[in-house]
Amino acid sequence: MGRLDIRPPRAALENRMTQRVALVTGASRGIGRATAVALSAAGFHVVAASRDMEKNEQLVAEKHAVMAVQLDVTSAESVTEAFTKAAKEAGRIDVLVNNAGITRDGLAIRMKPADWNTVLDLNLSGAFRCIQQVLPGMMRNRWGRIVNITSVVGQAGSAGQANYAASKAGLIGLTKSLAQEMASRGVTVNAVAPGYIDTDMTKDLPEQVKQSILSAVPVGRMGAPEDIAAAVKFLVSEEASYITGHVLAVNGGMYM
């Protein structure tokens, strides 16, 4: 009796090797969750990453992600552990969507140093920590997609959000610099700049503030997380292979 061959069929192996793996930070809610859902529907193996493991695992249970990892982008140890686990179990990371972000609003004259440092560390330095984890593999495979979620306030500024605007403007500079470094290695680096989007970050704004913002949006409505997810899905696709260093504004005409 011959030895039983338990290897998977060649077609299955080839499919596994060609299946792109996308890690989304801040995947537990809002834009991150919508992006995970959209990329999964587009055929990517999605790794849901955020501090909230319960919500990460919910994405897996709903079959919008193949695995969940706990990730605190302010901790170098957490970043290394999460990305090592994801790369080991998923095989590799082809796409990184840096979406994790927070606000700590206040006028600059009264802003506490902790509020400045926390926002810059999470929104900007956190994205850079994640990028450093995926670059070696992407360069080795000569294919990769990095999308940084910035903001319209990183382009236009916003009173009372000096820290947030600075962090998001920094992401734009990071995007453009990395795009120049990585272009010859088959890795594209782009950014999506959302405008006024209906998320947990905006739902608690006073009604008067909401109406004031809406008056500056030519299309006359808030955006949805799915609007941002659609832009990300395009930028990580093969159709966008000749686009790098670009900031795609998804803001309803709020800033042109």
Residue 6 lies in a domain: no
What is the residue range of 110's domain? Answer: 18-249
pLDDT, residue 11, reads 44
Residue 2 lies in a domain: no
Residue 255 lies in a domain: no
DSSP state string for 88-116: HHHS---EEEE-------B-GGG--HHHH
Residue 228 lies in a domain: yes
Residue 11 lies in a domain: no
Nearest residue to 184 via CA among 138, 148, 230: 138
CATH number of domain containing 91? 3.40.50.720
Among the ranges given (52-56, 94-98, 141-145, 201-205), the one the predictor scored with the smallest mean pLDDT: 201-205
Kindly report, residue by residue over 243-256, the tens digit of the pLDDT: 999 999 999 999 99
Residue 5 lies in a domain: no
Q: Which of 164, 196, 242, 255 is catalytic?
A: 164
Strand arrangement, sheet containing 21-25: 67-70, 45-50, 21-25, 95-98, 144-149, 187-194, 247-250
Q: What is the pTM of this model?
A: 0.92
CB 9 within 8 A of CB 114: no
* 242 has catalytic annotation: no
| Confidence tier at 132 by pLDDT (50, 70, 90) | very high
Kindly report, residue by residue over 145-168, the tens digit of the pLDDT: 999 999 999 999 999 999 999 999
Residue 139 lies in a domain: yes
Q: What total of structural domains would you count in the chain?
A: 1
**Is 25's pLDDT higher than 90?**
yes
**Is 5's pLDDT higher than 70?**
no
pLDDT, residue 18, reads 67
**Is 45's pLDDT higher than 80?**
yes
Pairing of strands 21-25, 95-98: parallel
